[in-house]
């Protein structure tokens, strides 16, 4: 626990010294400004606007600390990934680096199909497993035809350079509001996935305001690697952009997959 607190203090200090652009978040016209520290930090989101009340009052909030010895083993549908290449569209939205994805890629769980809309990153990871924070997490956001959300979380642990990230990591826009469209460059989100598709699943929420609930979370059990240099490059833009873990409030976390 002390190690986590120390990491947060260092990250917040870097933010206060101006090492991050997170404090210049883009917001929709009339929407309150929010961030990850100070008076606009995650603990205050629910007080910034009545539209953000769920951040404080919700009972199925994300992220969570997944305790592997307490999860419920269940026969779950495999996640069928149908990811196709997409042109490279990168945006610094003031809170994270987001890559918008071309139409036509999806996941399927049983009879449910969800279209991949975008993926983005948080550091350290928002999800924890047995109290462990990972260097980075990618959230792949999907939406069904009837408007339901499913988010696949890919955890990144310190190790070898990640080849999937390398394809565009030097192109990350550093300034809030900056976008880069590179139609001649292609990426495939499938390249980020671990070989094993085993996963934890639970009912949760968006991890940013307005913290809307009824989100289907699919956290892949096995992390992929990210190098120290790759993590450092991201943290030069966003030293800390993760919401702390939230109370489980009696929810069940199930495990299944391959």
Q: Which residues of the chain have pLDDT under 50?
A: 1, 3, 5, 7, 9-29
pLDDT at position 184 is 86
DSSP state of 246: -
DSSP 133-178: EPSEEEEEEEEETTS-EEEEEEEEEESSPPHHHHTTGGG---STT-
Task: Map out the domains of the chain with their CATH numbers.
Answer: 2-256 (3.10.200.10)
Q: Give the global pTM.
A: 0.88
**231 CB-near residues (< 8 Å, 6+ apart):** 123, 135, 136, 156, 158
172 token code pair? 């990350």
CA–CA separation, 171 and 168 (whole Å): 5
pLDDT at position 199 is 97
pLDDT at position 4 is 53
pLDDT at position 256 is 76
């Amino acid at each position: 626990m002390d190690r986590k607190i120390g990491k947060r203090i260092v990250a917040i200090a870097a933010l206060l010294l101006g090492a991050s652009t997170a404090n210049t978040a883009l917001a929709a016209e009339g929407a309150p400004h929010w961030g990850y520290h100070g008076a606009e930090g995650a603990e205050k989101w629910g007080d910034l606007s009545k539209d953000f009340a769920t951040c404080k009052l919700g009972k199925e909030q994300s992220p969570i600390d997944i305790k592997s010895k307490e999860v419920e083993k269940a026969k779950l549908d495999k996640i069928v990934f149908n990811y196709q290449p997409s042109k490279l569209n990168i945006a610094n939205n003031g809170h994270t680096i987001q890559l918008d994805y071309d139409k036509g890629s999806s996941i399927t769980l049983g009879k449910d199909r969800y279209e991949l809309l975008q993926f983005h990153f948080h550091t350290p990871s928002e999800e924890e497993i047995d109290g462990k924070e990972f260097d980075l997490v990618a959230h792949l956001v999907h939406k069904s035809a009837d408007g339901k959300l499913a988010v696949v979380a890919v955890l990144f642990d310190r190790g070898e350079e990640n080849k999937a990230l390398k394809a565009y990591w030097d192109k990350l826009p550093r300034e809030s509001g900056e976008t880069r469209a590179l139609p001649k460059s292609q990426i495939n989100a499938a390249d980020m996935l671990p070989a094993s598709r085993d996963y934890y699943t639970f009912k949760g929420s968006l991890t940013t305001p307005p913290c809307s609930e009824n989100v289907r979370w699919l956290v892949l059990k096995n992390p992929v690697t990210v190098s120290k240099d790759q993590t450092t490059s991201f943290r030069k833009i966003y030293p800390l952009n993760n919401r702390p873990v939230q109370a489980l409030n009696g929810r069940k976390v199930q495990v299944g997959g391959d």
